Amino acid sequence: MGLSRITLENFRNHAATTLGETAHFNLLVGENGAGKTNLIEALSLLGPGRGLRRANLGELGRRTAPDAAPLAFAIGASLTEAGAVTARLGTYSEPGQSGRRLVRINGAPASAARLAEWLALTWLTPAMDGLFTDSAGARRRFIDRMALAIAPDHAREVSAFETALRERARLLESGGDPRWLEALEHRAAAHGAALARTRAELVQRLADELSALPSEPFARPLLTYRPGGPMEEGALAEALARGRARDRAAGRALTGPQRDELEVRMAGSGQLAAACSTGEQKAMLIAITLAHSALAAAGRPSVLLLDEVAAHLDPRRRAALLSRLAAGSAQVWMTGTELAPFAAIRDEAAVWQVSAGSAAPL
């Protein structure tokens, strides 16, 4: 299962690009700046959220000149199973509304959240290399994106929780009706408890997947979910009510899943990932990505997007990675500046040469 008949119109530097015959392995090869990452970013937008670059929608449409307004863009792809098309997914903007992303599933309008019901996406990019030294918020976003693999409506729970917290903060500041404040706290607690449960389940399932992996050639990470408050709805509502004075003074809620943390340590040494070497951090990040891809592949088409990953691995780890990917059920998309790192899978892969916003099969 995977994607085929992929089309891009006016997306980034791609005026009109089509990727037709796809395979289990799909390679995008070309010079830096040719538009390889733009192609896999387009695929990442066939799921909820802002894609692998977390870009504003106004940045996505192609510009005919540096100071020109972005054109309306469109991305489409077919879901296939055993060579048969099972669905058509699309996302696009409309002229003059570059800040609004629209979605169609089988030709009918749909919410972006519904895309997760059809397709599970996992990705790894060089920009993620600093995850373990980044903020706790970055790791929460990392968890929430992965959580869509086991709970397609998770994004709605996160959005509803954040909205309730913002409204509560405004009401605390203005000294509004206590009854409305209580209602907001119960609403926040309902959504907060739901998203916290999903995060905890995801981390546990990832930990189970990782526990079965050998520590070589990729460093095996140990994952721990540390909740930022009670995970039961009633207890969370009570904690929010008790913390009103403190939260009013702080200007934000100090208890709840908005303060959750993902702790990552390296198996064997027990050292925090943030204190490990750059190579060890990369190896652990790859291990987590592969574990998530294995989870995501259960029950839905699954696509794994790997940007410039092979070139940064030594031959032993590269061979191990390609072997793992070959054994998995997720369709794999990889980018690189040359074909040499992919020699082991070249004959079974679909390959495109990407150049100046176009792609031609090799």
Where exactly are the structural domains of the chain? 1-119+302-362, 132-299
Measured CA to CA, the distance from residue 305 to residue 52 in angstroms comes to 9
Measured CA to CA, the distance from residue 191 to residue 141 in angstroms comes to 16
Cβ neighbours around 188 below 10 Å, total = 27
Which residue, among 97, 86, 145, has the nearest Cα to 121 in the 3D structure? 145
Measured CA to CA, the distance from residue 139 to residue 133 in angstroms comes to 10
Measured CA to CA, the distance from residue 197 to residue 200 in angstroms comes to 5
Does 142 score more than 80 pLDDT? yes
Residue-level pLDDT at 84: 86
Measured CA to CA, the distance from residue 212 to residue 235 in angstroms comes to 35
Relative to beta strand 302-306, strand 120-124 is parallel
Q: Categorize the per-residue pLDDT at 150 as very low, low, confident or very high, splitting at 50, 70 and 90.
A: confident
Residue-level pLDDT at 312: 74
Q: Calculate mean pLDDT across residues 172-187.
A: 94
Strands (E), the chain: 2-11, 14-19, 25-29, 74-81, 84-94, 97-105, 108-110, 120-124, 221-226, 261-266, 302-306, 331-336, 350-355, 358-361
Q: Calculate mean pLDDT across residues 88-102.
A: 88
Q: Categorize the per-residue pLDDT at 127 as very low, low, confident or very high, splitting at 50, 70 and 90.
A: very high
Measured CA to CA, the distance from residue 145 to residue 119 in angstroms comes to 13
Altogether, the residues listed in the chain come to a count of 362
- Cis check for the bond before 315: say yes or no (omega within 30 of 0): no
Q: Categorize the per-residue pLDDT at 160 as very low, low, confident or very high, splitting at 50, 70 and 90.
A: very high
Cα-based distances in Å from 283 to 153, 209, 273: 30, 16, 11
Q: Categorize the per-residue pLDDT at 195 as very low, low, confident or very high, splitting at 50, 70 and 90.
A: very high
Residue-level pLDDT at 311: 75
Q: Please, which residues have CB within 8 angstroms of residue 211's CB and are 6 or more apart in sequence?
A: none
Output the pTM of the full model: 0.90
Q: Which CATH number, 3.30.1330.40, 3.40.50.2300, 3.30.420.40, 3.40.50.300, labels domain 1-119+302-362?
A: 3.40.50.300
- 170: enclosing H helix or E strand: helix 154-174
Q: Categorize the per-residue pLDDT at 7 as very low, low, confident or very high, splitting at 50, 70 and 90.
A: very high
The rounded percent of the chain whose pLDDT value lies above 90 is 78
Cβ neighbours around 76 below 10 Å, total = 18
Check if the beta carbon of residue 333 is closer than 8 Å to that of residue 28: yes
Measured CA to CA, the distance from residue 150 to residue 180 in angstroms comes to 33
Cβ neighbours around 329 below 10 Å, total = 14
- Report the mean per-residue pLDDT for the chain: 93
Compute the half-sphere exposure of residue 286: CA atoms within 13 Å on the CB side of its CA.
27
The rounded percent of the chain whose pLDDT value lies above 70 is 99
Longest dimension (CA), the chain: 68
Measured CA to CA, the distance from residue 204 to residue 201 in angstroms comes to 5
Does 29 score more than 80 pLDDT? yes
DSSP state of 224: E
Measured CA to CA, the distance from residue 60 to residue 73 in angstroms comes to 7
Does 214 score more than 90 pLDDT? no
Strands (E), 82-126: 84-94, 97-105, 108-110, 120-124
Question: SS3 for 259?
Answer: helix
Higher local confidence (pLDDT), 341 or 81: 341
Q: Calculate mean pLDDT across residues 287-315.
A: 88
Q: What is the pLDDT of residues 246-300, one digit of tens each?
A: 999 999 999 999 999 999 999 989 999 999 998 889 889 999 999 999 888 777 8
Question: SS3 for 146?
Answer: helix
Which position has the token pair 């696009």? 92
Residue-level pLDDT at 87: 95
Residue-level pLDDT at 98: 63
Q: Of the given ranges (77-86, 197-206, 220-229), which has the lowest mean pLDDT?
A: 77-86
The superfamily CATH assigns to domain 132-299 is: RecF/RecN/SMC, N-terminal domain (1.20.1050.90)
Measured CA to CA, the distance from residue 117 to residue 301 in angstroms comes to 10
Cα-based distances in Å from 175 to 180, 214, 248: 11, 56, 10
